């Protein structure tokens, strides 16, 4: 006996689609109401206890800003948020890292939609150059919600200010470190009894899922500095490797593929905290310690320990707390004057084996 194939009528299909749309709408409404509740609480707050500072702040919080990034669990973003939160308390603003209390994981695009629907007073977002992000930023500003982009920009949007790092200058810092490694290699060649490599293979890790002009500027800075400053006999080969940065697992797999290749690079440039930690771990796992130099990004405790153990050559420290402060200041100034500088650069510092102990001591003091 043949089984009859189950067929769905047009009416059934329409019912299923309608049900799906209704479920999505209910979820979106619930999330929007959650943040709307936070806005009301922030605007009617009176005395606010800043538990981390250990001080009572008698300031009415009449504004509600949100910070948006899908990588909020990283130390980098925790520090940016803390700077924004503390500055907000001083200026009557409640700042929340949107998504922290949600059961599901949302992208920057989805969180932007939630923030706009919730009618927040200001948005701080880690942006990219995508059309979708630009459209949402323009929509927010058009509805009277000032938007500040932080660390990642969307230059063609209506954002009021970009708070970040001078990408070209950052690339120049990496370029100087590459040239320094070339000089050390040349010196080793002249003193070693056996002939060593006359070529240094350098790979910069690029986020394949980020349409971000900042990466191109960093790359330009690296190229121009290596070309102008390398007066050694060592040839420097610069290449890029694209990394799938959608999550930690895909990042790890992309980086492990580099070490599985026949010719692993001599220098690896990392442009974010996650890549730095993954390359650090891969060097250990593949017994490449001492055979490749890591030029890292950020100054988390694990990265600083990597420098002290001579696994990481150096790292670029960004004043992330300052970035958070600048974000809140930019929106407040825009609200009060209607004008604001379109770019506010945060301070950067090079950390290597010569000064890493100073930063490690500071980290130990904070954790005690």
Interval 157-200: pLDDT, tens: 999 999 999 999 999 999 999 999 999 998 887 775 555 568 99
Same domain, 342 and 247: no
Q: Is residue 262 part of a domain?
A: yes
Q: What mean pLDDT comes out for the span 291-298?
A: 94
Residue 189: predicted pLDDT = 79
Q: Is residue 5 part of a domain?
A: no
Quick one: 229 and 302 in the same domain? yes
Residues 6+ apart with CB under 8 A from 329: 87
Kindly state whether residues 82 and 180 are assigned to the same domain.
no
What's the mean pLDDT in 319-326?
97
In a domain, 241, yes or no: yes
What is the CATH number for 302?
Answer: 3.40.50.2300
Residues 59, 174 share a domain: no
Q: Is the pLDDT of residue 286 over 80?
A: yes
Query: Contact at 8 Å (CB) between 76 and 44?
Result: no
* Residue 328, pLDDT score: 98
**pTM for this model (two decimals):** 0.80
Same domain assignment for residues 235 and 341: no
Instruction: Write down the pLDDT at residue 50.
Output: 45
Q: How many domains does the chain have?
A: 2
> Do 181 and 311 belong together in one domain?
yes
Report which listed range, 31-35, 151-155, 259-263, 320-324, is most confident.
Answer: 320-324
pLDDT in tens, 246-264: 778 888 888 988 888 767 8
Residue 51 has pLDDT above 90, yes or no: no
301 and 335 share one domain: no
CA distance 260 to 71: 27
Tokens of 355: 């000064």
The answer to whether residues 97 and 192 belong to one domain is no
Identify whether the C-beta of residue 117 lies closer than 8 Å to the C-beta of residue 90.
Answer: no
Q: pLDDT class for 210, splitting at 50, 70, 90? A: low
Strand partners, 199: 235
> Residue 40: is its pLDDT beyond 60?
no
Residue 19 has a pLDDT of: 57
341-360 residue pLDDT tens: 999 999 999 999 999 999 98
Q: What is the pLDDT of residues 116-131, one digit of tens each?
A: 999 999 999 999 889 9
Q: Residue 202 pLDDT > 70, yes or no?
A: yes
Instruction: Compute the distance between CA of residue 159 and CA of residue 125 in angstroms, rounded to an integer.
Output: 10
pLDDT for position 39: 52
Residue 368 has pLDDT above 50, yes or no: no
Whether 93 is in a domain gets the answer yes
Residues 18 and 149 in one domain: yes
For β-strands 267-269 and 235-243, DSSP reports them as unpaired
Question: Do 179 and 305 belong together in one domain?
Answer: yes
Q: Is the domain of 118 the same as that of 251?
A: no
Q: Give the per-residue pLDDT at 57.
A: 54
Does residue 1 have a pLDDT over 50? Answer: no
Q: Residue 278 falls within a domain, yes or no?
A: yes
- Secondary structure of 72-115 in the HEC alphabet? CCCHHHHHHHHHHHHHHHHCCEEEEECCCCCCCCCCHHHHHHHH
- pLDDT score at 28: 53
Are the beta carbons of 218 and 233 closer than 8 angstroms? no
Confidence of residue 151 (pLDDT cuts 50, 70, 90): very high
Domain boundaries, position 172: 167-318
Q: Is residue 109 part of a domain?
A: yes
């Amino acid at each position: 006996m043949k089984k009859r194939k189950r067929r769905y009528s047009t009416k059934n299909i329409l019912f299923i689609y309608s049900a799906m749309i209704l479920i999505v709408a209910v979820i979106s409404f619930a999330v929007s109401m959650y943040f709307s509740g936070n806005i009301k609480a922030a605007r009617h707050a009176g005395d606010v206890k800043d538990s981390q500072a250990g001080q009572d702040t008698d300031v009415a919080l009449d504004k509600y800003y949100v910070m948006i990034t899908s990588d909020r669990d990283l130390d980098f973003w925790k520090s940016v948020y803390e700077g924004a939160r503390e500055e907000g308390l001083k200026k009557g603003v409640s700042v929340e890292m949107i998504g922290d209390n949600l059961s599901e994981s949302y992208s920057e695009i989805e969180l932007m939609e939630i923030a706009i629907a919730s009618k927040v007073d200001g948005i701080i977002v880690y942006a990219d150059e995508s059309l979708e992000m630009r459209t949402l930023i323009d929509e927010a500003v058009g509805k009277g919600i000032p938007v500040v982009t932080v660390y990642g920009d969307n230059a063609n949007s209506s954002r009021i200010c970009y708070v970040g790092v001078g990408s070209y200058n950052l690339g120049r810092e990496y370029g100087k470190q590459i040239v320094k490694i070339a000089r050390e290699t040349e010196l080793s060649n002249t003193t070693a009894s056996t002939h060593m490599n006359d070529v240094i293979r350098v790979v910069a890790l690029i986020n394949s899922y980020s349409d971000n002009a900042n990466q191109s500027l960093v790359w330009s800075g690296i190229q121009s500095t290596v070309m102008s400053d390398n007066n050694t006999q060592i040839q420097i080969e610069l290449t890029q490797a694209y990394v799938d940065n959608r999550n930690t697992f895909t990042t790890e797999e992309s980086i492990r593929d580099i070490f599985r290749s026949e010719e692993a690079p001599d220098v690896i440039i990392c442009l974010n905290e996650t890549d730095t930690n993954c390359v650090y771990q891969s060097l250990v796992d593949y017994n490449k310690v001492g055979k490749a130099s890591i030029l890292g990004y950020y100054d988390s405790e694990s990265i600083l320990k990597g420098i002290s153990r001579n696994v990481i050559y150096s790292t670029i420290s960004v004043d992330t707390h300052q970035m958070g402060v600048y974000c809140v200041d930019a929106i407040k100034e825009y609200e009060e004057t209607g004008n604001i500088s379109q770019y506010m650069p945060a301070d950067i510092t090079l950390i290597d084996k010569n000064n890493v102990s100073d930063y490690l001591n500071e980290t130990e003091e904070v954790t005690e």
